[in-house]
Amino acid sequence: MGPDITEPLTLKCGLVLPNRLVKAAMAEGLADKGHLPGERISRVYSEWAKGGWGALLTGNIQVDVQHLGGYGDLATRSNQADEPQLLDPWKQYAEACQEHGTPAIAQICHPGRQSPRGAGERGIFGQTIAPNAIPLNMGDGVAASIVRNIVFGCPRAMSKSDISHIVGQFVNCARVLAQCGFSGIEIHAAHGYLLCMFPISHHPMPGIVNRNVDTAQFLSLGSNDRQDEYGGNPERRARIVIEIIQQIRKEVPANFCIGIKLNSADHNASEFEDTMTQIQCFYNAGVDFLEISGGNYEDPTMMGRGVREEPNKPKSQSTAAREAFFLDFAAQTRKRFPDITLLLTGGFRTREGIEAALKGGVCDFVGIGRPAVLRPDFLRLMMDPAYTNQEASVVFSKVPVPLVARLLQIKSLGGGAETEYFRGQIHRLADGLSTFAP
């Protein structure tokens, strides 16, 4: 029998989460001038801090101001630690998150080839970077290719010097956030960003990788065919992430949490064993938790696209136990690594579903994203016995896929519509307004 929602969780580093529900990372788009946090994002997290969550996971904090995943992303700079005026906003942000005792864990990342033109300080014609010069696949057809070329272009293959620089940027970002009072960081190696792994797809002929449907960057064989020590077998493809983990650990306090977010993989896919090998590498490197998520710009399953879901239909007990998007992969990971602390995010809407995943031992704690925007007090709704199981749920419809996305067959626009809708709701929280479901 696994834990109850109300049970505290002590991570390997010693950080204690007061319960098993965390506010998951979401795109806020609330950066102030200079990509710094300001009053608006602090107001949002102050509101979430009142909710009694086990932890607050922030949205993306980019490690490189040259390459942002979105136009409103927060980002740290290499000289941040030496500039007090640049540290104060981060300290105020950390304080707002943790003013009621809830630990704040900052999600840090680099978008790699998923950085739109004009996002960041590299200039509108500056190239993105990736393990290899393999562009995004935005969908089938000429229109999708045109959109890709206009918005993202083709990335530049990274040199060893680039890799060393990126590792240093992750370490710098973590050091700055620890200095400013955050309780930990989570390395974002999912959703198609630079460090991401995701199952590749294959050409119908055996042994031929179909790069047109590749969906990841460093950790995936499909987008990393480097011939040096950062490509090849699963361990070498994971090397950049291992170096980041190990070097961050040397630079932060012992009780500072280091987590990692990874994409799930189909147990029947040939890449599954590679994924398990890489998880073993990260566990050996000393991560405090592993978050399981999924999807990317090319296949946005993290937004529920492509996942069969009937949000307005009452769930039976058996289906409630499987409401999470990535439950099967979490169960397989638990079998392989019973000692790893697992965070499962995506799809949870009800107390019954959350309790089923926890008590079934599939995960150690649960991440809540969009429901936390609609109900910042979601945790109290789940924990207060005054609410029946039927009442302890936050269900809502998906945001309609824009007509242009359907006509042009660009899959990412469906997930983009979902992201933009909930980003807008987060902005309503920043303005002190109530939020509403789609």
Summarize pLDDT for 164-216 with one digit per residue, the tens. Answer: 999 999 999 999 999 999 999 999 999 889 998 543 333 222 232 333 334 45
Domain spans of the chain, in order of start: 9-430
In whole angstroms, give the CA distance from residue 53 to residue 103: 9
Q: Return the higher-pLDDT residue of 229 and 339.
A: 339
The Cα–Cα gap between 39 and 31 comes to 10
Average pLDDT, the chain: 85
Say yes or no to pLDDT of 415 above 70. Answer: no
pLDDT grade, residue 224 (50/70/90)? low
Q: Are 135 and 128 within 8 A, CB to CB?
A: no
Q: How far apart, in whole angstroms, are the C-alpha atoms of residue 300 and residue 322?
A: 19
Residue 351 has pLDDT above 80, yes or no: yes
- Whole-number percent of the chain with pLDDT over 70: 82
Query: pLDDT category, 292, cuts 50, 70, 90?
Result: very high
Band (242; pLDDT cuts 50, 70, 90): very high
Looking at per-residue pLDDT, the higher value among 104 and 133 belongs to: 104
- pLDDT grade, residue 313 (50/70/90)? very low
Return the pLDDT at 322.
Answer: 55
In contact, 259 and 288? CB cutoff 8 Å? yes
Mean pLDDT of 59-88: 90
Name the least confident of 40-49, 130-139, 300-309.
300-309
Q: Residues 243-261: what's their mean pLDDT?
A: 97
Q: Is the pLDDT of residue 81 over 60?
A: yes
- Alpha carbon 278 to chain centroid, angstroms: 17
Please state the three-class secondary structure of 287-351 as a single string: CCEEEEECCECCCCHHHCCCCCCCCCCCCCHHHHCCCCCCHHHHHHHHHHCCCCCEEEECCCCEH
CA dihedral 83, 85, 87, 89 (to 10 degrees): -160
Please identify, in words, the CATH class of the domain defined by 9-430: alpha beta
Lowest-confidence pick of 79-83, 392-396, 415-419: 79-83
Task: Please tell me the predicted confidence (pLDDT) of residue 406.
Answer: 61
pLDDT above 50 for 259: yes
pLDDT digits (tens, 9 = 90+) for 360-408: 999 999 999 999 999 999 999 999 999 999 999 999 998 887 666 566 5
Whether residue 318 is predicted with pLDDT greater than 60 in this model: the reply is no
Residue 222 has pLDDT above 60, yes or no: no
Is the pLDDT assigned to residue 296 strictly greater than 60? no
Q: What is the mean pLDDT of residues 219-248?
A: 82
Structure-model confidence comparison of residues 140 and 364, the more confident one: 364
Give me the mean pLDDT over the 239-251 stretch: 97
Confidence of residue 41 (pLDDT cuts 50, 70, 90): very high
Q: Which of 152-161, 181-190, 207-216, 341-350 has the lowest mean pLDDT?
A: 207-216
- Band the pLDDT of 221: cuts 50, 70, 90: low
Angle at 13 between CA 11 and CA 16, to 5 degrees: 45
